[in-house]
């Protein structure tokens, strides 16, 4: 950061000692933003427009609760001072704590139910995302933590969705839905995100009369069936696309705002990436449905309704 052009922000705040609730509210706001305490009542933060607005809100709230608060632009007098400020925001210790949590969580995975695993994943992802948001100067610790997180997600996916396909590197041919009507489609049983969304997509936009086979093993896939979402299937992960996205591209399905957002949701939950706000809710609903329903036909019908609703909701701006 150029210290001459990008000043830092300093929140100076004090509250009456009797205002325990107000002090806790201020502390939580400061922590969520990633401020560093220079001393009691003085909190440093990287200058950004959103940060300035957030600190101004905290200052106004503090003043309304009987305290005193100001937001000040702070310009370092030298590059050395600027570097010293940056060093205060080193998140190496927080990443070390997160890695320790991942190690403990991974050890517990074999003894946990799918619902417990999904709950742990959701909690740890929330903690990780909160840390990444306040990591303003990524370094080797953050790179190591990213690798540890990828390993943990892979271990979780291996338990929640065993047999995940390996991405192929090849072109995606363009196909006509007219040539794929009334077909039998097959994938691994115990549907998870990519498979249930792909099955919904097939029946909703490609083959309305599709019949589905849920396989104990991809080796059981009949020759006449169209396999999807397993290694060497007709439709599976290709390059950086998950099966849902490959089906979209293969059959040239219109990328409405709703479809774009569904594709982003499926991709993020299946292989990682930017997590949409609805992802946690959809993952919780799918986890609950898997625990509640005893077969994949019922699961597809149940989650298909959820995907219909999301698709309609995402497209609402287009229909106005």
Residue range of the domain that includes 224: 177-319
Residues 246 and 304 in one domain: yes
Q: Which pLDDT score is estimated for 19?
A: 79
pTM above 0.75, yes or no: no
Q: Residue 107 falls within a domain, yes or no? A: yes
Please provide the distance, in angstroms rounded to a whole number, between the alpha carbons at the two ends of the chain. 44
Q: Which pLDDT score is estimated for 2?
A: 44
Share of the chain above pLDDT 90, in %: 70
CB distance 311 to 248 below 8 Å: no
Q: Which pLDDT score is estimated for 1?
A: 43
Q: Which pLDDT score is estimated for 159?
A: 82
Mean pLDDT of 155-181: 87
Residues 17 and 137 in one domain: no
| CA 90 – CA 94 distance, rounded (Å) | 9
Position 165 pLDDT exceeds 80 = yes
Q: Which residue among 87, 105, 127 closes a domain?
A: 87
| CA 165 – CA 186 distance, rounded (Å) | 14
CB distance 59 to 10 below 8 Å: no
pLDDT in tens, 206-257: 999 999 999 998 999 999 999 999 999 999 999 999 999 999 999 999 999 9
Q: Which residue among 107, 132, 160 closes a domain?
A: 160
Tokens linked to 178: 């007219």
CB distance 227 to 235 below 8 Å: yes
pLDDT in tens, 131-152: 999 999 999 999 999 999 988 9
| CA 82 – CA 11 distance, rounded (Å) | 17
Find the helix packing angle between 92-108 and 140-160, rounded to 10°: 20
CATH number of the domain bearing residue 17: 3.30.70.240
CB distance 34 to 8 below 8 Å: no
Q: Residue 169 falls within a domain, yes or no? A: no
């Amino acid at each position: 950061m150029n210290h001459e052009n990008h000043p830092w922000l300093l929140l100076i705040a004090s509250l009456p000692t009797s205002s325990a609730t107000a002090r806790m509210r201020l502390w939580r706001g400061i922590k969520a933003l990633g401020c560093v305490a220079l001393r009691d009542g003085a909190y440093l933060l990287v200058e950004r427009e959103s940060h300035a607005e957030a600190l101004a809100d905290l200052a106004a709230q503090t003043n309304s609760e009987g305290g005193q608060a100001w937001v000040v632009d702070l310009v370092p007098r030298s590059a050395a001072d600027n570097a010293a400020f940056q060093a205060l925001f080193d998140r190496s210790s927080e990443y070390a704590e997160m890695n320790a949590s991942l190690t403990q969580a991974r050890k517990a995975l074999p003894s946990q139910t799918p619902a417990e695993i999904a709950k742990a994943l959701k909690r740890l992802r929330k903690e990780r995302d909160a840390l990444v948001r306040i990591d303003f100067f990524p370094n080797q610790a953050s790179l190591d933590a990213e690798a540890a997180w990828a390993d943990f997600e892979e271990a979780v996916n291996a338990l929640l969705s065993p047999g995940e396909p390996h991405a192929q590197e090849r072109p995606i041919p363009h196909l006509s839905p007219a040539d794929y009507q009334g077909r039998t489609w097959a994938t691994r049983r115990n549907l998870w995100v990519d498979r249930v969304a792909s099955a919904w997509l097939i029946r909703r936009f490609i083959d309305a009369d599709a019949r589905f086979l849920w396989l104990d093993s991809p080796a059981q896939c009949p020759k006449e069936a169209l396999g999807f979402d397993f290694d060497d299937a007709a439709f599976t992960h290709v390059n950086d696309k998950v099966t849902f996205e490959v089906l979209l591209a293969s059959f040239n399905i219109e990328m409405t705002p709703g479809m774009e957002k569904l594709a982003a949701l499926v991709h993020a939950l299946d292989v990682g990436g930017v997590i949409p706000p609805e992802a946690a809710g959809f993952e919780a609903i799918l986890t609950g449905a898997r625990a509640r329903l005893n077969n994949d036909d019922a699961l597809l019908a149940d989650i298909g309704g959820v995907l219909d609703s999301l698709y309609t909701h995402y497209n609402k701006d287009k229909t106005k």
